[in-house]
Amino acid sequence: MRVRQTDSHLSPEKLRIVLIRPSKYDDEGYVIRHLRGVLPSNTLACLSGLTDELKQTHALGRGIEVEIRIFDDTVQKIPIRRIIRSNSQRRRTVIALVGVQSNQFPRAADLARQFREGGLQVLIGGFHISGSLSLFADIPSEIRELMDLGISVVAGEVEDTWAGILRDALEGRLKPLYNFLGCKPDLSTRPVPRVHHRYLRRFIASNYGTIDCGRGCPYRCSFCTIINVQGRTMRFRSKETIIRAIRDNYQRYGVDYYFFTDDNFARNALWREIFQELALLRDREGIPIRFMMQVDTQAYRLPDFIPMAARAGCTQVFIGLESINQKNLQSAGKCQNRVQDYRDMIAAWHAEKIATHVAYIIGFPFDTAESVREDIDRLKSDLKVEQASFFMLTPLPGSQDHLQMVQTGQPIDPDLNNYDAFHETMPHPHLGPGEWTAVYRDAWSSFYSFDYIRQVLSEANPENYWNIFRNFIWYRNSVMIEGGHPMIHGFFRLKDRKERRRGFTVESRLMHLRRRLRDWSALARGWFTLMLEMEELWLQTRKRSEAELRLMVEVKRIRAEVHRNLHAAELQIAHIRAKAYFPGLRVPSRLALRLRNLNFGIAARITYSRADLQQFWLRTRLRLKHGQLLRIRPLKIAYALWRDTQLMLLFAIALARGDSGSGGLDSRAG
Ligand code: B12
Ligand code: SF4
């Protein structure tokens, strides 16, 4: 590789730090990128906060201007050439590829090579490097290869050392390896991840922030990398820094929903204080913060934990359930999870109206196709969790499982791009190649079936209804339309023709256009079906107030009696009379009543299902197919189209506003 040279006699006046979150490749070698993402990167926000502090405190020298740029490969094309051109001796640019997990490593390495070829200094850090270096004395070959190209690798956390690294970059002499695994920074006074409003606008919800309030975990699960990288002794940010950042983010950018990314918030020694402060923010300052957090299965036993979480604004917990087979849990060293407690545990969260979302791993040694099917059924019928995220067991670099497999010479997938928890990366004792994937996919389809979603939505707490509803759209889109994992996929896939993984050919424009046309048509079909299904779920489950239910019964009765027999004027009088019994009833105008025959408004609101429309379209399609054109009535088609359009419009409005679509009849409805 030829690295572009720049003169070295001029001392720099400016350091431009370009923080990049790399994406990963799909199975066809294209970068996984979406028009809108769902989950912003906490590591990007964290390093941005640290860099910002250095800038404010002039830690790199008074005469040095510091500029920070952030890019996210999962939602935007990285302007590689432009960034390379911005580099000069006086205005030095350093690239930092951040939070690189194993599945992102191949993509990160490709980006690093391109920047390095352009003569830039490049740093790469995150869990792949930290995890690998925590396990092995010898640096793994894929990391060594980058170091040989002059790319610097960073292991461990950099809260205390980032300034030193950047000083090296300023002087143009980055070291090949920075290993900070031995020194775990005290987080209590360190800057909190920084929100970038412009960055958040690339995501579906721009009111969504992330903070890791603590790091480390006391447990010893063999599939997990946290203990070897962040350690078993926990460290925490102070409640003051957290609350200050939350207040500030709300006042400046309107961020009012958080994902606290701690692996286990219940083991954060400061949880009580943090919850108290959040409750005060809500009650005294009127800042309506809500959040989701990750907890272990034992969290529910902590006195006050759940009620205080609810008062603090917790709407959802992500619980490390992992399996409902005790033998599997034992094999993974996750003995703190006790299957017999699960039902009580879920019920305790539900009692405070907090939705439960469980992490579930498929591919533990005691899993078989049959047992997984039964377990997923139990998740639905017995535990009744609102959501589940399924992962295939993966020997992640940094985990005990990885170490053990390498040491015992067991075969594992050499392609790190597959370490995304939805690819088979090792053999399984009972599930053959391909079968494991099929069982995994079946788990998604079974859990996110129409019937189960309907059950969850019907029983959902009205305040949480739309959160859960929108999550279902995101999950079904990721799994059923994008064919991947919700934690990787966003909305509306983009594919850059030229950004293809090494080893895949760059297609001609025509071939690529054909590919994209196929993609777009599949996407359009997928979204059409998804939206109709979600609309039907909304019709069947949306929360209705008692007044609305009574009104609907009455309106239905009146309609049945007078339908088409009365003139608009007579109908209006009937409504005025009905108003005496139902003060909330609006008396429609004559025009509205004339339109009534077109079934607008009230009719849409009293629709519980579009099953009749579905039947109609099915019949029409069959008639078309069999050439029975004379049996197709254009007027009926126009009417059905009209009704479908109204319903879709009402659904879209309710979805966007997050209300029940009850036409303002009950402001308490979800
Ligand atoms: C939040 C989270 C996510 C979020 C956001 C990711 C993010 N980075 O913000 C989402 C939901 C998107 C996610 C998804 C996944 N995740 Co995740 N995630 C986490 C979690 C719980 C917290 C991340 C975090 O905020 N950490 C705090 C930050 C500040 O720590 P950090 O990333 O290590 O960064 C510090 C240092 O490493 C260093 N650093 C990092 N990069 C760089 C770069 C440079 C240049 C320098 C100098 C320093 C530096 O500086 C930072 C400050 O000290 C971690 C576990 C954990 N405790 O970290 C798992 C974790 C990172 N995820 C993991 C996995 C496996 C996944 C998924 C594959 C799982 C799945 N199928 O859903 C996907 C893949 C997504 C993808 N391809 O992007 C694994 C990765 C293991 C590995 N070897 O790759 C982890 C470690 C969990 C585990 N079980 O072991 N994840
Ligand atoms: S899986 Fe969860 S409980 Fe187990 S070690 Fe990792 S973070 Fe801790």
What is the phi/psi pair of residue 584, to 5°? -75, -10
- The pLDDT tens digits of the residues spanning 506-541 come to 999 999 999 999 999 999 999 999 999 999 999 999
485 CA: nearest ligand 1 atom: 71
Rounded CA-CA distance 342/325 in Å is: 11
Query: Is the C-beta atom of 123 inside 6 A of ligand 2?
Result: no
Query: Is the C-beta atom of 420 inside 6 A of ligand 1?
Result: yes
- The pLDDT tens digits of the residues spanning 135-181 come to 999 999 999 999 999 999 999 999 999 999 999 999 999 999 999 99
Q: Pick from 434, 401, 398, 395: which is nearest to 418 by CA?
A: 395
Rounded CA-CA distance 501/333 in Å is: 37
Give whole-number Cα distances, 124 to 1, 112, 282, 396, in Å: 18, 8, 39, 18
Range of weakest confidence among 68-82, 491-505, 553-567, 605-619: 553-567
Examine the pLDDT at 88 and tell me if it is beyond 60. Answer: yes
Rounded CA-CA distance 428/425 in Å is: 9
229 vs 88 pLDDT, higher one = 229
Contact between 256 and 250 under an 8 Å Cβ cutoff? The reply is yes
Examine the pLDDT at 660 and tell me if it is beyond 70. Answer: no
What is the model's pLDDT at position 528? 96
The pLDDT-based confidence of 597 (bands split at 50, 70, 90) is low
State both tokens at 125.
Answer: 């850090």
Query: Is the C-beta atom of 217 inside 6 A of ligand 2?
Result: yes
Rounded CA-CA distance 259/319 in Å is: 13
Examine the pLDDT at 572 and tell me if it is beyond 90. Answer: no
The pLDDT-based confidence of 133 (bands split at 50, 70, 90) is very high
102 CA: nearest ligand 1 atom: 84
Rounded CA-CA distance 64/47 in Å is: 19
Ligand 1: residue of 39, 41, 43 to mutate (most ligand atoms within 8 A of CB) is 43
Query: Is the C-beta atom of 263 inside 6 A of ligand 2?
Result: yes
The pLDDT-based confidence of 581 (bands split at 50, 70, 90) is low
- The pLDDT tens digits of the residues spanning 171-195 come to 999 999 999 999 999 999 999 999 8
8-state DSSP, 417: G
What is the phi/psi pair of residue 277, to 5°? -65, -40
Range of weakest confidence among 243-247, 440-444, 563-567: 563-567
What is the model's pLDDT at position 255? 96
Q: Pick from 138, 170, 217: which is nearest to 51 by CA?
A: 170
DSSP string, 563-624: TTTS-HHHHHHHHHHHHHH-TTPPPPPHHHHHHHTTT-THHHHT----HHHHHHHHHHHHHH
8-state DSSP, 505: P
Q: What is the mean pLDDT of residues 250-270?
A: 96
Examine the pLDDT at 389 and tell me if it is beyond 70. Answer: yes
322 CA: nearest ligand 2 atom: 1
What is the model's pLDDT at position 605? 54
What is the model's pLDDT at position 594? 65
Give whole-number Cα distances, 589 to 176, 285, 398, 551, 601, in Å: 77, 44, 69, 18, 13
Contact between 642 and 598 under an 8 Å Cβ cutoff? The reply is yes
Average pLDDT of the chain is 91
Percentage of the chain lying above the pLDDT 70 cut: 92
16 exposure class (CB count in 10 Å sphere: 0-12, 13-18, 19+) = buried
The pLDDT-based confidence of 664 (bands split at 50, 70, 90) is very low
* Residue burial 267-305, b: 16+ Cβ < 10 Å; e: rest: bbebbbbbbbbbbebbeeeebebbbbbbbbbbbbeeeeb
Q: What is the mean pLDDT of residues 452-466?
A: 94
Q: Pick from 325, 299, 332, 327: which is nearest to 221 by CA?
A: 332
Query: Is the C-beta atom of 226 inside 6 A of ligand 1?
Result: yes
Query: Is the C-beta atom of 361 inside 6 A of ligand 2?
Result: no
Contact between 593 and 568 under an 8 Å Cβ cutoff? The reply is yes
Examine the pLDDT at 230 and tell me if it is beyond 50. Answer: yes
343: left (phi over 0), alpha (psi -120 to 50) or beta: alpha
Give the distance (Å) from ligand 1 centre to CA of residue 101.
6
The pLDDT-based confidence of 557 (bands split at 50, 70, 90) is confident
Give whole-number Cα distances, 152 to 48, 149, 165, 316, 452, in Å: 19, 9, 10, 39, 49
Q: Whose CA is nearest to atom 33 of ligand 1?
A: 126
Query: Is the C-beta atom of 227 inside 6 A of ligand 2?
Result: yes
Question: What amino acid is encoded at 574 in this protein?
Answer: A
Q: Pick from 219, 297, 216: which is nearest to 261 by CA?
A: 216
What is the model's pLDDT at position 559? 66
The pLDDT-based confidence of 387 (bands split at 50, 70, 90) is very high
Q: Pick from 453, 476, 477, 475: which is nearest to 465 by CA?
A: 453
Percentage of the chain lying above the pLDDT 90 cut: 82
Q: What is the mean pLDDT of residues 197-223?
A: 95
Query: Is the C-beta atom of 264 inside 6 A of ligand 2?
Result: yes
Strands 14-21 and 65-72: parallel
- Which residues make Cβ contacts (< 8 Å) with residue 652, sequence separation at least 6? none
Using the Cα atoms of residue 194, residue 197, residue 198 and residue 200 in order, give the sign of their dihedral.
Answer: positive
What is the model's pLDDT at position 563? 56
- Which residues make Cβ contacts (< 8 Å) with residue 644, sequence separation at least 6? 610, 613
Rounded CA-CA distance 26/34 in Å is: 12
- The pLDDT tens digits of the residues spanning 312-360 come to 999 999 999 999 999 999 999 999 999 999 999 999 999 999 999 999 9
State both tokens at 631.
Answer: 């049996």
What is the model's pLDDT at position 9? 54
Contact between 48 and 197 under an 8 Å Cβ cutoff? The reply is no
What is the model's pLDDT at position 588? 77
Q: Whose CA is nearest to atom 25 of ligand 1?
A: 42
372 vs 631 pLDDT, higher one = 372
CA dihedral of residues 306, 266, 210, 29 (deg, nearest 10):
-110
Examine the pLDDT at 649 and tell me if it is beyond 50. Answer: yes
Query: Is the C-beta atom of 316 inside 6 A of ligand 1?
Result: no
State both tokens at 429.
Answer: 């004792």
Q: What is the mean pLDDT of residues 5-18?
A: 72
Ligand 1: residue of 23, 95, 127 to mutate (most ligand atoms within 8 A of CB) is 127
- Which residues make Cβ contacts (< 8 Å) with residue 141, sequence separation at least 6? none
What is the model's pLDDT at position 81? 97
Please name the residue that has the structure tokens 């190209």.
149
Q: Which ligand is nearest to the CA of 421?
A: 1
Quote the radius of gyration of the chain (alpha carbons, Å): 28
Rounded CA-CA distance 229/400 in Å is: 11
Examine the pLDDT at 595 and tell me if it is beyond 90. Answer: no
Query: Is the C-beta atom of 532 inside 6 A of ligand 2?
Result: no
Give the distance (Å) from ligand 1 centre to CA of residue 612.
47
State both tokens at 243.
Answer: 């609350």
What is the model's pLDDT at position 553? 77
224 CA: nearest ligand 2 atom: 6
Q: What is the mean pLDDT of residues 447-473?
A: 95
Q: For 219, how many CA atoms within 13 A lie in the half-sphere containing its CB?
A: 22
The pLDDT-based confidence of 3 (bands split at 50, 70, 90) is low
8-state DSSP, 373: H
What is the model's pLDDT at position 600? 45
What is the model's pLDDT at position 592? 73
Question: What amino acid is encoded at 352 in this protein?
Answer: E
Contact between 352 and 309 under an 8 Å Cβ cutoff? The reply is yes
Q: How far is CA 379 from the centre of its chain?
A: 21
Range of weakest confidence among 316-330, 458-472, 650-664: 650-664
Query: Is the C-beta atom of 26 inside 6 A of ligand 1?
Result: no
Query: Is the C-beta atom of 296 inside 6 A of ligand 2?
Result: yes
State both tokens at 36.
Answer: 């809108």
Q: Pick from 217, 203, 265, 221: which is nearest to 239 by CA?
A: 265
Query: Is the C-beta atom of 42 inside 6 A of ligand 1?
Result: yes
Rounded CA-CA distance 474/30 in Å is: 21
Q: Whose CA is nearest to atom 7 of ligand 2?
A: 263
Q: Pick from 422, 653, 654, 482: which is nearest to 35 by CA?
A: 482
What is the phi/psi pair of residue 10, to 5°? -95, 135
Contact between 176 and 152 under an 8 Å Cβ cutoff? The reply is yes
What is the phi/psi pair of residue 204, to 5°? -55, -40
What is the model's pLDDT at position 601? 47
Examine the pLDDT at 75 and tell me if it is beyond 80. Answer: yes
Q: What is the mean pLDDT of residues 282-293?
A: 97
Give the distance (Å) from ligand 1 centre to CA of residue 315.
23
